[in-house]
Amino acid sequence: MGKLTHFDADGQAVMVDVGAKDVTERTATAQGSVVMQPETLTLVMKGKAKKGDVLGVARLAGIMAAKRTADLIPLCHPLGLTSVSVELTCDPDRNAVDISATCKLKGRTGVEMEALTAVSVAALTVYDMCKAVDRGMTLTDIRLTEKSGGKSGDYKAS
């Protein structure tokens, strides 16, 4: 197991200095789900939620969140993302909205936090838009599924 990088020798939180790292293409994908009552998912799928197009608004919220990750996570570097995609799909068998976000850039640090933030905020937006009819929804399984680029190499969740 490697050492934590966001602490100095005295144990104080620090922003990692990435100035000496090579600029490489970096990509990260994260996924998660919002599990809900079957009736709630039906409203989402039919576009009949009181607040409007749940999937469209959540997609935009996820994209906006990825771009603002450094404002939300204290030690994250502000990044010049070159691409953010957020996809939401409905799974009636699980009564779930599944969310996938992929972020890309050419830079000195990875985009894992941006992808995870995009999924998290998209899931929170689904919850917000449907909470009037289903306060028991569960945001679940938010995780990094894949990353490429940088010194640490590639990662793919099993």
> Tokens in use for 88?
């939401």
State how far Cα 108 lies from the chain centre: 20
Residues in the chain: 158
53 carries an active-site annotation: no
Catalytic residue among 8, 71, 128, 134: 128
User: DSSP string spanning the chain?
Assistant: ----SSB-TTS-B-----TTSPPEEEEEEEEEEEE--HHHHHHHHHT--TTS-HHHHHHHHHHHHHHTHHHHSTTPPP---SEEEEEEEEETTTTEEEEEEEEEEEESS--HHHHHHHHHHHHHHHHHHHTTT-TT-EEEEEEEEEEE-STT--EE--
C-alpha span between 79 and 70 (Å, rounded): 8
**Residues acting as catalytic residues:** 128
